[in-house]
A and B are shown apart, each in its own frame.
Chain A
Amino acid sequence: MTTKKYETYYVPAQSHWPIVGAVALFMIAFGAGNYVSDLAKGESGLGGYLLLAGIALVIYMMFGWFKNVIDESMSGKYSPQLDASFRQGMTWFIFSEVMFFAAFFGALFYVRMFSVPWLDGAGNNVMTGEVLWPDFTATWPLIKTPDGTVTQGMGWYGLPLINTILLMTSSITAHFAHIALEQDRRPQLKAWLGVTILLGVAFLGFQVLEYSHGYSEEMKLYLTSGIYGNTFYMLTGFHGMHVTLGTVMLIVMFLRILKGHFSPKSHFAFQAASWYWHFVDVVWVMLFVFVYIL
């Protein structure tokens, strides 16, 4: 009966949401371009407002688009095949996110293994060290850059360790929530999902706290503190943005569950959100190992 499966692929109706999304992305890109350029010139223009309007429009678009999809899904228009398309689409989207982080991890590994030691004369670069910055010594964390900016390394114990535990736990609770959904035990589902969300929020809170330590007078660990500060804030910052997005997704799932959505068999959106959450968790473990511990 394989053919049966193929007979009802749902080709959706025309929709105005994609073009709204394209306009929104344009506003974001053009607004951000103006905003940043003006910033550099010390002027202030309308770029920032355009950027914010663009973001608002994207959010509006997501609401509308997803509502559309949810309505269609609830009215039974979707086939298992379409469900598979969604799942595969989400998987590859997450893969692309992994590659985005790979670029920053690649930069981190490169500076640690190559460029920082080279600046101190490693390999065949003795003269580089001698001629450019004779006083420079290669260390990691790079607490003193060649041009003399001083900073401090962030330890792995304390907040980062707590955050690791929080996020690892949340991955497990997310999994429990999923099992509960599959077994149609709604109260447990709500409880586990609620706990997951709280853990995510707590993680973000601690992250803010950690940043405020970094930016304090005693640590002087800024985004601009040379390559250590750069990689530290860019990696943890992008990760934090992804946690935020993941938390929002989970909250939306929570609201939908309260409204009675999802069944043990059909819950793609929930699955996608939980995959995303696991992905965010794995990235954090990598961060914890390579940014904090090693």
Chain B
Amino acid sequence: MTTDVLNDHDSHEGEHHDDHKMTGIKRWLYTTNHKDIGSMYLWFSFIMFLVGGALAMVIRAELFQPGLQIVEPDFFNQLTTVHGLIMVFGAIMPAFVGFANWMLPMMIGAPDMALPRLNNWSFWILPFAFAILIGSFFMESGAPNFGWTFYAPLSTTYSNGSTAFFVFAVHIMGISSIMGAINIVVTIMNMRAPGMTYMKMPLFVWTFFITAYLLIAVMPILAGVVTMLLTDTYFGTSFFDAAGGGDPVLFQHIFWFFGHPEVYIMILPAFGIVSTIIPAFSRKKLFGYSSMVYATSSIAFLSFIVWAHHMFTTGMPLFGELFFMYCTMLIAVPTGVKVFNWMATMWRGSMTFETPMLFSIAFVILFTIGGFSGLMLALTPVDFQYHDTYFVVAHFHYVLVTGSLFSIFAGAYYWLPKWTGHMYDETLGKVHFWCSLISVNLLFFPMHFLGLAGMPRRIPDYALQFADFNKWVSIGGFAFGLSQLIFLAVVIKCIRGGEKASAKPWEGAEGLEWTVASPAPYHTFTTPPKID
């Protein structure tokens, strides 16, 4: 299969297509094209990343010194809550859906996603959902202030009145996610080019496949729990109120039954991206492809039976404490398999260190640090000390920022030439990488020690002994925030011009997406390629 052949296919597109590009705003509002929709997802996610980041800057400014300087405690709670919600549901998840949209059809040799109109709907729900969520800052009640985990009774009995808007915003976000996930599953099951069996799919495709299943399984649980929250707050039910026979801990069980798979929803696609990039720049095949597939599947399965590791301090029965501790530690096994395979892929490869590879290597190391702190948290008696301290904050920022977010950067640099047709500015990319790497560790590493020393999370003030570390953490935070503007500059520069990218700018890259021109034509694979 050569590039020419495929370009030839592309040139007589149109006969079977009613899909002609409209111009102006209508193109984006009405589009059914997976590349358009992918771009919109990616831009949306980046904007949300900047908004959520701005909130974090205010948080770090307040925590720069002990005492209350800038914001009121209640507003501080609103900041942490909305920061978390935006980053999880507005930045990380949509970014991955953006990757899925752009890359999956090209990687499996399909003309588009299986259900293109549904795809458009899934995307356009999101801006509206976040308009409601962010808009609640300007409402009478203020924004949600009960943490991104919205535990009852903080969000019921003690709600500041923002619960209703929050619940309905989450409902429509959930609809968007479920439809997006159904689309991904159906595309992968049904649209693969002839000859592409499941075990021939790129690992990237596998991870998105499994992630989509997780989404379909747990987003409805989230819908259920926010519904109970709504009726508890406004319609007199007592699901989470012991006086009526319910239990506030029930909230945590249902929430985390959603919540733990959710954290894997945010990391499995990252595994897929990194597993694509590391072989490309090591110029070797991915080590242990099938073990990667099995490891991903078992992580997904295990993620359903570990949820209560977030609840060790709620006074569960002893059996529960032990069961969830052991199951959680079990997850380290498939995760270890993955880390091993990445290392083995690099071992004796002829490596080069372009920006995507730098982010991927940083991912492997720093995500592993996050995994280790996760293991510490998984030990029930130890978690009694760490729970709700900055140690937990350090843990999940290592897995989410240096994990998920770094993989998103890696993927963006890797595929930017395919998306835009231009090479990005390698020097600027490297500057972005090193600034991010240094500042992110300054930002999150000291949090481990703050947590071990007992600094609680989600509190706007702290004891004097934590002052030094917090100062450095805040400086790291501001530096990390500023560094991301470099990324924005790189992307804009790359879209507007730069060295022309060839169809396959990365020597070691593999996959169908590199067989089409750069930038990828509006329609690709209108007739499927043959895989042998």
Contacts and interface: CB of A to CB of B under 8 A. Distances in A.
Interface in A5-41: 6-19, 21-23, 25-26, 28-30, 32-34, 36-37, 39-41
A113 B128 CA distance: 40
Contact of B175 (A10, A25, A230): A25
Interface residues of B, number: 86
A132 interface: yes
Contacts of A89: 114-115, 118, 182-183, 186
Interface in A105-129: 106-107, 110-111, 114-116, 118-119, 123-124
A26 B30 contact: no
B253 interface: yes
A262 to B, nearest CB: 21
Interface stretch (B17-25, B357-365, B391-399, B467-475): B17-25
B131 A9 contact: no
Given A11-B112, A123-B317, A228 B245 contact: yes
Contact of A146 (B31, B114, B223, B243): B243
A17 B26 CA distance: 12
Interface string B216-237: 1111110111011011011111
A114 to B, nearest CB: 7
B30 A19 contact: yes
Q: Is the interface of B mostly helix, strand, loop or mixed?
A: helix
A122 to B, nearest CB: 10
B238 A226 contact: yes
A216 interface: no
Contacts of A124: 317
Contacts of B238: 145, 224, 226-227, 230
Interface residues of A, number: 77
B337 interface: no
A84 B168 CA distance: 32
Given A7-B527, A85-B114, A123-B317, A32 B168 contact: yes
B164 A110 contact: no
B442 interface: no
B100 interface: no
A19 B216 contact: no
A104 B194 CA distance: 42
A111 B114 CA distance: 41
Contact of B242 (A33, A84, A93, A132): A132
B124 interface: yes
Interface string A191-230: 0000000000000000000000000000000011011111
A279 B279 CA distance: 45
Nearest to A124: B317
Contact of B161 (A37, A97, A114): A37
17 contacts: A3-B530, A14-B26, A14-B32, A15-B117, A18-B117, A26-B128, A26-B129, A26-B132, A33-B168, A65-B117, A84-B190, A85-B190, A89-B118, A92-B216, A103-B224, A115-B245, A119-B242
Given A10-B16, A40-B161, A123-B317, 18 more contacts: A3-B194, A11-B523, A18-B118, A29-B129, A29-B132, A37-B161, A85-B190, A89-B182, A95-B216, A99-B219, A103-B225, A106-B257, A107-B254, A115-B245, A224-B236, A227-B245, A234-B227, A234-B231
Interface of B: 16-20, 22, 26-27, 29-32, 110-112, 114-118, 120-121, 124-125, 128-129, 131-132, 141, 161, 164-165, 167-169, 171-172, 175, 178, 181-183, 185-186, 189-191, 193-194, 216-221, 223-225, 227-228, 230-231, 233-239, 242-247, 249-250, 253-254, 257, 317, 523, 526-528, 530
